């Protein structure tokens, strides 16, 4: 359940049912904070590539792919750059 926060923002109610998606998402975020498994990284990279494929402008797609690959490097995500670019339909 979500409740109104300060300045019209929406915050999650800490009394959410134990089977709610909210608590599941929270557990997953904690897992990534502790250095999630390689399979989690692979799923995330594939998801990001899927989103990038939806960007119609090739120049924007390439720019976003480069920014995200730098972010992956900063966060020490295990991925293959060539594979990520191919899945994103970006040419070097």
Whole-number Å distance between alpha carbons of 81 and 66: 10
- Whether the model pTM is above 0.85: no
User: Rounded to an integer, what distance in angstroms lies between the CA atom of residue 60 and that of residue 33?
Assistant: 29
Q: Give the whole-angstrom CA distance, residue 41 versus residue 69.
A: 13
pLDDT digits (tens, 9 = 90+) for 9-54: 555 544 444 444 443 444 455 555 555 566 788 999 999 999 999 9
Q: What is the pLDDT of residues 49-89, one digit of tens each?
A: 999 999 999 999 999 999 999 999 999 999 999 999 999 99
Token duo for residue 14: 């800490």
Total residue count of the chain as it appears in this document: 92
């Amino acid at each position: 359940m979500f409740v109104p926060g300060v300045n019209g923002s929406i915050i999650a109610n800490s009394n959410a049912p134990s089977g709610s998606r909210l608590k599941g998402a929270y557990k997953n975020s904690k897992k990534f904070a502790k250095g999630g498994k390689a399979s989690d990284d692979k799923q995330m990279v594939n998801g990001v590539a899927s989103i990038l494929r939806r960007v119609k402008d090739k120049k924007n797609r390439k720019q976003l792919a480069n920014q995200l690959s730098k972010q992956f490097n900063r966060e020490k995500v295990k991925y293959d750059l060539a594979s990520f670019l191919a899945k994103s339909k970006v040419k070097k």
